[in-house]
Amino acid sequence: MVSIISLLVIGGGFFVLKNWQKSSAGSNNFPPLAIEKTEKNGADTIKNQQESLWNSFPHAEELKLSKIEMPQSQPLTNTSPSAPQTPTDTLAQQLMNAYFSAAGQNSGSLSDEETNTIVNPLIENLNTSENRSDAYTLSDIKISKNEDEYAIKEYGNNLALTIKKYFDPIPEDEMRIFKTAVTNQDATELQKMEPLVNAYRNTAGEMLSLNVPSSFSENHLILINRFNDIAQDLDAIQKNFDDPVQSLIALNQYFTDFKPANQVFHDLNDYFSNKKIVFELNEPAEYFKENYQKQNG
């Protein structure tokens, strides 16, 4: 019988990877998010993180046995009721309870199909991106009715300066840090992600004070909210070795939040082009065009 852990790795990995590849297909990642997420890198990252996740479950070794003798006692309960339940604890509890309960009704063993019936709903629920409310609305940003060349160029240059201010000093991107940490099983490596958490959060906060042309205000708001959400995602991903299930949830959410943020930068270049705005090489906003061209050949 295929072990329940193997099924979790296959089921969970496929669900997350399928959604991520579908959402990222045909798109290029755009700095200044400084994220290297090719399909191979994304697949390897999730695969390594999945292996780390499932191996960290309480009672994982028992679950790996090809056959499990059903104990005569009641399904497992939390041995430390006063301890806070992490998502990892909760999922392990659910898996063990569901498996042993079903196995007890089938003389201590389950078919692969029966095991899948238990595992798949838990995995799909685990990897479903949460629907979070946006932290900011249009009333929180400074919308300018002035859309002449000077106002638009000022916006572009100030936005570029804000992003470069926080991201240029950081030598590594978040996915590279995460992949190294999981591959080497090095929790201290994840401490390098803290400057990126602050960079996304501080950039979002400072973008609130920029004067934004009204015709690009909704895009600007999307960027603020997604940067703010990505900061939350990375904060949770940093806890991978303490709470791997929460980290996996955050990883999936991170890819979800990245896509619209990435799209805003593509739309920004189109916006400048449609408004016939040209930045000189010495202007900060030329940065957007340079990186757009690199990503699109």
* Residue pLDDT, tens place only, 105-145: 655 566 767 766 766 666 666 655 566 789 999 999 999 99
Q: Are residue 146 and residue 86 in the same domain, yes or no?
A: no
Query: What mean pLDDT comes out for the span 238-245?
Result: 84
Q: Are residue 160 and residue 268 in the same domain, yes or no?
A: yes
19 within some domain: yes
133 within some domain: no
Going by pLDDT thresholds of 50, 70 and 90, the confidence category of residue 217 is: very high
pLDDT at 76: 39
pLDDT at 182: 86
Q: What is the pLDDT of residues 60-110, one digit of tens each?
A: 444 433 333 333 333 434 444 455 566 666 666 666 666 666 665 655 566
278 within some domain: yes
pLDDT at 104: 59
Q: What is the pLDDT of residues 157-190, one digit of tens each?
A: 999 999 999 999 999 999 899 989 988 889 999 9
Query: What mean pLDDT comes out for the span 237-255?
Result: 86
14 within some domain: yes
Question: Higher model confidence: residue 88 or residue 236?
Answer: 236
Q: Are residue 119 and residue 146 in the same domain, yes or no?
A: no
pLDDT at 257: 93
Q: Are residue 161 and residue 94 in the same domain, yes or no?
A: no
Q: Which of 84, 99, 127 is the last residue of a domain?
A: 127
Q: Are residue 223 and residue 152 in the same domain, yes or no?
A: yes
Q: Are residue 144 and residue 278 in the same domain, yes or no?
A: yes
177 within some domain: yes
Q: Are residue 149 and residue 38 in the same domain, yes or no?
A: no
Q: Are residue 176 and residue 262 in the same domain, yes or no?
A: yes
132 within some domain: no
Q: Are 212 and 132 in contact (CB under 8 A)?
A: no
285 within some domain: yes
Look at the block and give the residue holding tokens 């958490």.
197
Q: Are residue 113 and residue 69 in the same domain, yes or no?
A: yes
- Is residue 42 predicted with pLDDT exceeding 70? no
What's the structural domain count of the chain? 2
- Is residue 210 predicted with pLDDT exceeding 70? yes
Tell me the CA distances in angstroms from 217 to 150, 155, 221, one per residue in order. Answer: 17, 11, 6
Separation CA 294–CA 286 (nearest Å):
13
pLDDT at 252: 85
Structural domain including 43 reads: 4-127
Name the 3-class secondary structure at 75. coil
Separation CA 79–CA 73 (nearest Å):
14
pLDDT at 82: 52
Say if pTM beats, i.e. exceeds, 0.85.
Answer: no
Q: Are residue 142 and residue 282 in the same domain, yes or no?
A: yes
Q: What is the pLDDT of residues 255-292, one digit of tens each?
A: 899 999 999 999 999 999 999 999 999 999 998 988 77
Cβ partners under 8 Å of residue 250, min gap 6: 232, 233, 234, 235, 236, 237
Look at the block and give the residue holding tokens 């994840």.
190
Give phi and psi for 166, each to the nearest 5.
Answer: -95, -30
Q: Are 147 and 214 in contact (CB under 8 A)?
A: yes
Going by pLDDT thresholds of 50, 70 and 90, the confidence category of residue 6 is: very low
Q: Which of 127, 159, 182 is the last residue of a domain?
A: 127
- The β-bridge partners of 211 are 142
Q: Are residue 160 and residue 284 in the same domain, yes or no?
A: yes
Cβ partners under 8 Å of residue 120, min gap 6: 11
Q: Which of 74, 106, 127 is the last residue of a domain?
A: 127
Q: Are residue 61 and residue 151 in the same domain, yes or no?
A: no
- Is residue 213 predicted with pLDDT exceeding 60? yes
